[in-house]
Amino acid sequence: MDDNYNKNGFYKNAMNYGLILALAMIILTMAIYFFDATSNKYVSWLGTAIIAVTIYIGNKTLRDQIQGGQLSYGRSVGSGVLIAVFSGFIMSIFVYIFYTYIAPEAIQEILDIAEQDMYNKNLSDQEIEMGMSMLHKFTTPGIMAISSIFGSALQGVILSLILSIFLKKEANPFAE
């Protein structure tokens, strides 16, 4: 196979599955918002499962349909991270729009939950005040949008390192 075809297919596949992942996460976010399920602890696991499944399917497609049935561990990890990063860029735009225009009150809900958690941990009033001061600085739509890119990339790295163990399929060095 031509190397440029593999390169173009590699990036196109990552962008396609990054878009699919972003759309799935946007739908999940909107469902969580409309059904008021933000306090449900299992929702974050559902998001992680969606990311893992999308990276798995994206890398399997890369291996089977673009790379001719072969995929090295490193290329699999790289593909999974790219899928997550492309998704993260799209999600960052959504996060900014969501917290600025759709649900600006959600930021206050995040702050209220964090403050209640601090009270539940029996922190002193001074510690709570200092923690909330820091949290106010980092809980803005812009900062949350930027951090969503890094969070997505980090999740992509971790999941890709694990999933690539099962997806790699090296070429047989003895076959001609």
pLDDT tens string 48-87: 999 999 999 999 999 999 998 999 999 999 999 999 999 9
Q: State yes or no: pLDDT of 162 exceeds 90.
A: yes
What's the CA gap between 77 and 158, in Å, rounded? 9
Determine phi and psi for 71, rounding to 5 degrees: -155, 120
pTM, to two decimals: 0.88
- Band (pLDDT 50/70/90 cuts) for residue 110 is confident
- The runs of H, that is alpha helices, within the chain are 3-34, 43-61, 73-97, 105-120, 125-138, 141-167
pLDDT of 36: 86
Q: State yes or no: pLDDT of 146 exceeds 90.
A: yes
Q: Tell me what the mean pLDDT of segment 11-22 comes to.
A: 97
What's the CA gap between 164 and 7, in Å, rounded? 18
Determine phi and psi for 175, rounding to 5 degrees: -80, 145
Judge whether 128 and 23 are in contact, CB under 8 Å.
no
pLDDT of 101: 95
pLDDT of 133: 92
Other C-beta atoms lying within 10 Å of the C-beta of residue 93: 13
Q: H/E/C letters for each residue in 49-94?
A: HHHHHHHHHHHHHHHHHHCCCCECHHHHHHHHHHHHHHHHHHHHHH
Torsion of CA 26, 100, 40, 16, to 10 degrees: 20
Residue 84 CA, chain-centre distance (Å), reads 5
